[in-house]
Amino acid sequence: MLALLARHLVLLIGIWIPVSCIEQPGNYSAEDSPRFEPVPVIKPGGQVVAVALGSGGPRVFAAIGVLKALEAKGYVPDLIVGTSGGAIIGALYAAGFTPDEIEAIALETTLFELLDLVISDYGYIGGQALHGKLTRLLEGKTIESLKKPFAAVVTHVETGVMEILNRGNAALAVRASMAIPGVFLPVIIDGAHYVDGELVAPVPIRVAKQLGADVVIAVDVQARLDEAPAMPFYPPEWLSMGVLKRRLVDAEVDSTTILVQPVLSYYAGFSNQYKQSFIAAGEAAINDALPKLRELIQPEDQKTRKVNNAGRLLVRRMPPARSL
Protein backbone atom coordinates (compact mmCIF):
# COMPACT_ATOMS: atom_id res chain seq x y z
CA MET A 1 0.00 0.00 0.00
CA LEU A 2 2.83 2.42 0.89
CA ALA A 3 4.52 1.64 -2.43
CA LEU A 4 1.32 2.47 -4.34
CA LEU A 5 0.92 5.76 -2.46
CA ALA A 6 4.54 6.66 -3.17
CA ARG A 7 4.07 5.95 -6.86
CA HIS A 8 0.94 8.11 -7.04
CA LEU A 9 2.72 10.93 -5.20
CA VAL A 10 5.62 10.81 -7.64
CA LEU A 11 3.26 10.85 -10.62
CA LEU A 12 1.43 13.88 -9.26
CA ILE A 13 4.65 15.75 -8.55
CA GLY A 14 5.94 14.75 -11.97
CA ILE A 15 3.27 16.88 -13.64
CA TRP A 16 5.13 19.97 -12.39
CA ILE A 17 8.69 18.80 -13.05
CA PRO A 18 10.40 19.38 -16.42
CA VAL A 19 11.34 16.29 -18.41
CA SER A 20 15.02 17.22 -18.03
CA CYS A 21 14.73 16.45 -14.32
CA ILE A 22 13.65 12.87 -14.89
CA GLU A 23 16.09 10.47 -13.23
CA GLN A 24 18.07 8.01 -15.31
CA PRO A 25 19.98 5.07 -13.79
CA GLY A 26 23.73 5.73 -13.65
CA ASN A 27 26.32 3.28 -14.91
CA TYR A 28 28.77 1.94 -12.33
CA SER A 29 32.11 0.96 -13.79
CA ALA A 30 35.17 0.59 -11.57
CA GLU A 31 37.79 -1.87 -10.45
CA ASP A 32 35.49 -3.04 -7.67
CA SER A 33 32.42 -3.55 -9.90
CA PRO A 34 30.29 -6.43 -8.55
CA ARG A 35 30.83 -9.60 -10.60
CA PHE A 36 31.09 -13.36 -10.48
CA GLU A 37 34.41 -15.17 -10.19
CA PRO A 38 35.06 -18.88 -9.59
CA VAL A 39 36.30 -19.31 -6.04
CA PRO A 40 38.54 -21.88 -4.34
CA VAL A 41 37.00 -24.73 -2.38
CA ILE A 42 35.62 -23.27 0.83
CA LYS A 43 36.64 -26.09 3.12
CA PRO A 44 38.72 -28.86 1.48
CA GLY A 45 37.75 -32.28 2.81
CA GLY A 46 35.02 -30.96 5.09
CA GLN A 47 31.27 -30.56 4.90
CA VAL A 48 30.22 -27.09 3.69
CA VAL A 49 26.98 -25.78 5.18
CA ALA A 50 25.34 -22.77 3.56
CA VAL A 51 22.42 -20.61 4.55
CA ALA A 52 20.28 -19.32 1.66
CA LEU A 53 18.28 -16.26 2.70
CA GLY A 54 15.28 -15.69 0.46
CA SER A 55 13.33 -12.64 -0.61
CA GLY A 56 10.02 -11.54 0.85
CA GLY A 57 9.89 -7.82 1.54
CA PRO A 58 9.58 -7.01 5.26
CA ARG A 59 9.18 -10.75 5.96
CA VAL A 60 12.96 -11.08 5.60
CA PHE A 61 13.26 -9.84 9.18
CA ALA A 62 12.35 -13.42 10.11
CA ALA A 63 15.75 -14.48 8.75
CA ILE A 64 17.37 -12.61 11.64
CA GLY A 65 15.51 -14.86 14.07
CA VAL A 66 16.54 -17.94 12.11
CA LEU A 67 20.22 -16.94 12.37
CA LYS A 68 19.83 -16.23 16.10
CA ALA A 69 18.33 -19.66 16.73
CA LEU A 70 20.89 -21.45 14.56
CA GLU A 71 23.80 -19.90 16.43
CA ALA A 72 22.18 -20.61 19.78
CA LYS A 73 22.07 -24.28 18.86
CA GLY A 74 25.62 -24.31 17.53
CA TYR A 75 24.93 -24.24 13.79
CA VAL A 76 27.05 -21.61 12.05
CA PRO A 77 27.18 -21.63 8.23
CA ASP A 78 30.33 -21.60 6.14
CA LEU A 79 28.68 -19.77 3.23
CA ILE A 80 25.92 -17.15 3.00
CA VAL A 81 23.85 -16.53 -0.13
CA GLY A 82 21.05 -13.99 -0.32
CA THR A 83 18.35 -12.77 -2.67
CA SER A 84 16.75 -9.32 -2.44
CA GLY A 85 16.12 -8.43 1.22
CA GLY A 86 17.81 -11.68 2.20
CA ALA A 87 20.98 -10.31 0.60
CA ILE A 88 20.95 -7.36 3.02
CA ILE A 89 20.84 -9.59 6.08
CA GLY A 90 23.28 -12.03 4.50
CA ALA A 91 25.86 -9.35 3.70
CA LEU A 92 25.73 -7.98 7.24
CA TYR A 93 26.11 -11.48 8.67
CA ALA A 94 29.00 -12.25 6.33
CA ALA A 95 30.64 -8.97 7.37
CA GLY A 96 30.77 -10.19 10.96
CA PHE A 97 27.70 -8.64 12.53
CA THR A 98 26.03 -10.99 15.01
CA PRO A 99 22.31 -11.72 14.65
CA ASP A 100 21.66 -9.57 17.73
CA GLU A 101 23.54 -6.68 16.14
CA ILE A 102 21.62 -7.10 12.88
CA GLU A 103 18.39 -7.06 14.87
CA ALA A 104 19.43 -3.79 16.52
CA ILE A 105 20.18 -2.28 13.11
CA ALA A 106 16.79 -3.43 11.81
CA LEU A 107 14.91 -1.93 14.75
CA GLU A 108 16.63 1.44 14.50
CA THR A 109 16.20 1.73 10.71
CA THR A 110 13.08 3.49 9.48
CA LEU A 111 11.45 2.95 6.10
CA PHE A 112 11.62 6.63 5.22
CA GLU A 113 15.40 6.86 5.55
CA LEU A 114 15.65 4.23 2.79
CA LEU A 115 13.30 5.97 0.35
CA ASP A 116 14.70 8.51 -2.11
CA LEU A 117 11.84 9.27 -4.48
CA VAL A 118 12.68 10.01 -8.10
CA ILE A 119 10.85 10.74 -11.33
CA SER A 120 11.75 8.04 -13.81
CA ASP A 121 10.30 5.62 -16.32
CA TYR A 122 12.22 2.86 -14.55
CA GLY A 123 10.90 3.22 -11.00
CA TYR A 124 10.17 5.74 -8.28
CA ILE A 125 12.86 4.93 -5.70
CA GLY A 126 16.43 5.77 -6.67
CA GLY A 127 18.20 3.36 -4.32
CA GLN A 128 20.95 5.81 -3.36
CA ALA A 129 19.66 6.11 0.21
CA LEU A 130 19.75 2.35 0.64
CA HIS A 131 23.16 2.20 -1.02
CA GLY A 132 24.51 4.84 1.35
CA LYS A 133 23.22 3.02 4.41
CA LEU A 134 24.74 -0.27 3.25
CA THR A 135 28.05 1.39 2.38
CA ARG A 136 28.31 2.84 5.88
CA LEU A 137 27.42 -0.43 7.57
CA LEU A 138 29.76 -2.50 5.38
CA GLU A 139 32.46 0.18 5.50
CA GLY A 140 32.70 0.21 1.70
CA LYS A 141 34.14 -3.31 1.64
CA THR A 142 34.24 -5.69 -1.27
CA ILE A 143 32.53 -9.06 -1.01
CA GLU A 144 35.87 -10.88 -0.99
CA SER A 145 36.99 -8.87 2.06
CA LEU A 146 33.99 -9.90 4.18
CA LYS A 147 34.63 -12.38 7.00
CA LYS A 148 32.59 -15.17 5.42
CA PRO A 149 32.03 -16.18 1.78
CA PHE A 150 28.97 -14.36 0.47
CA ALA A 151 27.05 -14.04 -2.79
CA ALA A 152 24.07 -11.96 -3.89
CA VAL A 153 21.70 -13.12 -6.62
CA VAL A 154 20.50 -10.73 -9.34
CA THR A 155 18.50 -10.86 -12.57
CA HIS A 156 20.22 -9.70 -15.75
CA VAL A 157 17.60 -7.57 -17.51
CA GLU A 158 18.91 -7.92 -21.04
CA THR A 159 18.94 -11.74 -20.94
CA GLY A 160 16.47 -12.53 -18.15
CA VAL A 161 18.92 -14.99 -16.60
CA MET A 162 20.17 -15.32 -13.07
CA GLU A 163 23.62 -14.03 -12.22
CA ILE A 164 25.71 -14.44 -9.09
CA LEU A 165 27.72 -11.57 -7.62
CA ASN A 166 30.43 -12.88 -5.31
CA ARG A 167 33.17 -10.32 -5.88
CA GLY A 168 33.38 -6.54 -5.89
CA ASN A 169 31.53 -3.76 -4.08
CA ALA A 170 29.30 -5.47 -1.50
CA ALA A 171 26.83 -2.62 -1.00
CA LEU A 172 26.21 -2.24 -4.73
CA ALA A 173 25.77 -5.98 -5.21
CA VAL A 174 23.11 -6.04 -2.49
CA ARG A 175 21.39 -2.97 -3.90
CA ALA A 176 21.19 -4.67 -7.30
CA SER A 177 19.84 -7.86 -5.73
CA MET A 178 16.83 -6.02 -4.34
CA ALA A 179 16.12 -3.56 -7.17
CA ILE A 180 12.43 -4.44 -7.50
CA PRO A 181 11.41 -3.78 -11.13
CA GLY A 182 9.16 -0.76 -11.47
CA VAL A 183 9.87 0.31 -7.89
CA PHE A 184 13.65 0.78 -7.59
CA LEU A 185 15.74 2.01 -10.49
CA PRO A 186 17.73 -0.85 -12.02
CA VAL A 187 21.42 -0.97 -11.18
CA ILE A 188 23.73 -0.64 -14.18
CA ILE A 189 27.12 -2.28 -13.76
CA ASP A 190 29.60 -2.07 -16.62
CA GLY A 191 26.73 -1.39 -19.03
CA ALA A 192 24.50 -4.30 -17.92
CA HIS A 193 21.16 -3.69 -16.18
CA TYR A 194 20.40 -5.70 -13.04
CA VAL A 195 17.21 -6.02 -10.99
CA ASP A 196 15.82 -8.07 -8.11
CA GLY A 197 17.09 -11.66 -7.97
CA GLU A 198 13.66 -12.71 -6.70
CA LEU A 199 12.52 -13.05 -10.31
CA VAL A 200 14.83 -16.02 -10.88
CA ALA A 201 15.80 -17.40 -7.45
CA PRO A 202 13.49 -16.37 -4.58
CA VAL A 203 15.44 -18.70 -2.28
CA PRO A 204 18.92 -19.27 -3.80
CA ILE A 205 19.40 -22.93 -2.96
CA ARG A 206 21.01 -23.97 -6.24
CA VAL A 207 23.35 -21.00 -6.12
CA ALA A 208 24.61 -22.17 -2.73
CA LYS A 209 25.18 -25.65 -4.18
CA GLN A 210 26.98 -24.16 -7.18
CA LEU A 211 29.30 -22.31 -4.81
CA GLY A 212 30.22 -25.51 -3.00
CA ALA A 213 27.59 -26.18 -0.33
CA ASP A 214 26.90 -29.79 0.66
CA VAL A 215 23.93 -28.86 2.84
CA VAL A 216 21.75 -25.76 2.48
CA ILE A 217 19.65 -24.24 5.24
CA ALA A 218 17.05 -22.46 3.08
CA VAL A 219 15.08 -19.66 4.70
CA ASP A 220 11.78 -19.24 2.84
CA VAL A 221 9.69 -16.26 3.97
CA GLN A 222 7.40 -16.00 0.94
CA ALA A 223 3.78 -15.01 1.54
CA ARG A 224 1.44 -17.96 2.01
CA LEU A 225 -0.91 -18.07 -0.96
CA ASP A 226 -3.64 -19.86 0.99
CA GLU A 227 -3.85 -16.84 3.30
CA ALA A 228 -4.18 -14.26 0.52
CA PRO A 229 -7.32 -12.11 0.81
CA ALA A 230 -10.02 -12.56 -1.77
CA MET A 231 -9.94 -10.42 -4.89
CA PRO A 232 -10.50 -7.57 -5.65
CA PHE A 233 -8.57 -6.75 -2.47
CA TYR A 234 -5.72 -8.91 -3.73
CA PRO A 235 -4.38 -7.90 -7.19
CA PRO A 236 -4.31 -10.92 -9.54
CA GLU A 237 -0.74 -10.15 -10.64
CA TRP A 238 0.41 -10.61 -7.03
CA LEU A 239 -1.19 -14.05 -6.99
CA SER A 240 0.45 -14.97 -10.30
CA MET A 241 3.85 -13.85 -9.05
CA GLY A 242 3.32 -15.73 -5.80
CA VAL A 243 2.54 -18.95 -7.66
CA LEU A 244 5.63 -18.51 -9.85
CA LYS A 245 7.91 -17.92 -6.87
CA ARG A 246 6.47 -20.90 -5.04
CA ARG A 247 7.26 -23.14 -8.02
CA LEU A 248 10.78 -21.74 -8.32
CA VAL A 249 11.48 -22.50 -4.66
CA ASP A 250 9.96 -25.99 -4.75
CA ALA A 251 12.04 -26.87 -7.83
CA GLU A 252 15.28 -26.20 -5.95
CA VAL A 253 14.56 -28.17 -2.78
CA ASP A 254 16.21 -31.60 -2.60
CA SER A 255 17.29 -34.14 0.01
CA THR A 256 20.22 -31.98 1.15
CA THR A 257 18.01 -28.93 1.75
CA ILE A 258 16.79 -27.98 5.20
CA LEU A 259 13.77 -25.81 4.43
CA VAL A 260 12.90 -23.31 7.16
CA GLN A 261 9.50 -21.65 6.70
CA PRO A 262 8.54 -19.32 9.56
CA VAL A 263 4.82 -18.88 10.18
CA LEU A 264 4.21 -15.24 9.28
CA SER A 265 1.14 -13.06 8.89
CA TYR A 266 0.12 -12.40 5.30
CA TYR A 267 0.36 -8.65 5.67
CA ALA A 268 3.87 -7.41 6.44
CA GLY A 269 4.78 -3.94 7.67
CA PHE A 270 7.94 -2.05 8.58
CA SER A 271 7.00 -1.08 12.14
CA ASN A 272 9.06 -2.44 15.01
CA GLN A 273 6.04 -4.45 16.11
CA TYR A 274 6.07 -6.31 12.79
CA LYS A 275 9.84 -6.67 12.82
CA GLN A 276 9.92 -8.16 16.32
CA SER A 277 7.08 -10.56 15.58
CA PHE A 278 8.80 -11.78 12.41
CA ILE A 279 12.13 -12.21 14.19
CA ALA A 280 10.42 -14.24 16.91
CA ALA A 281 8.70 -16.38 14.26
CA GLY A 282 12.08 -17.04 12.65
CA GLU A 283 13.53 -18.23 15.96
CA ALA A 284 10.56 -20.53 16.55
CA ALA A 285 10.80 -22.04 13.06
CA ILE A 286 14.15 -23.69 13.83
CA ASN A 287 12.45 -26.10 16.22
CA ASP A 288 10.67 -27.77 13.30
CA ALA A 289 13.95 -27.99 11.38
CA LEU A 290 16.01 -29.52 14.19
CA PRO A 291 15.50 -33.18 13.23
CA LYS A 292 16.82 -32.60 9.71
CA LEU A 293 19.60 -30.34 10.97
CA ARG A 294 20.81 -33.16 13.21
CA GLU A 295 20.43 -35.66 10.39
CA LEU A 296 22.34 -33.76 7.71
CA ILE A 297 25.01 -31.75 9.50
CA GLN A 298 27.91 -33.82 10.72
CA PRO A 299 28.37 -33.58 14.50
CA GLU A 300 32.12 -32.94 14.35
CA ASP A 301 31.57 -30.09 11.91
CA GLN A 302 28.89 -28.65 14.16
CA LYS A 303 31.28 -28.74 17.11
CA THR A 304 34.01 -27.05 15.09
CA ARG A 305 31.61 -24.33 13.94
CA LYS A 306 30.51 -23.71 17.51
CA VAL A 307 34.11 -23.23 18.65
CA ASN A 308 34.88 -20.97 15.68
CA ASN A 309 31.76 -18.93 16.31
CA ALA A 310 32.69 -18.45 19.98
CA GLY A 311 36.05 -17.15 18.80
CA ARG A 312 34.35 -14.79 16.33
CA LEU A 313 32.13 -13.37 19.07
CA LEU A 314 35.13 -12.95 21.39
CA VAL A 315 37.03 -11.00 18.75
CA ARG A 316 34.03 -8.73 18.09
CA ARG A 317 33.61 -8.02 21.82
CA MET A 318 37.27 -7.21 22.51
CA PRO A 319 37.83 -3.47 23.10
CA PRO A 320 39.76 -1.66 20.37
CA ALA A 321 43.48 -1.22 20.86
CA ARG A 322 44.51 2.21 22.08
CA SER A 323 47.45 4.10 20.69
CA LEU A 324 49.94 5.62 23.11
Residue 240 known to be catalytic: no
Enter the DSSP assignment of 199. G
Rounded to whole angstroms, the Cα distance separating 292 from 283 reads 16
What residues are paired with 194 via a beta bridge? 156, 187
Q: Is 196 a catalytic residue?
A: yes
Contact assessment for residue 88 and residue 134, using Cβ atoms and an 8 Å cutoff: yes
Query: How far is CA 275 from each of CA 127, 219, 231, 260, rounded to the nearest angstrom?
Result: 22, 16, 27, 18
Output the CA–CA distances (angstroms, integers) from residue 157 to 126, 153, 188, in the order listed. 17, 13, 10
Q: Cis omega before residue 40 (within 30°)?
A: no
Catalytic residue among 116, 196, 220, 301: 196
Which is catalytic among the residues 55, 78, 84, 120?
A: 84
In angstroms, the CA 119 to CA 22 distance is 5
CB within 8 Å of 261: residues ≥ 6 apart: 220, 221, 285
Annotated catalytic sites, by residue? 84, 196
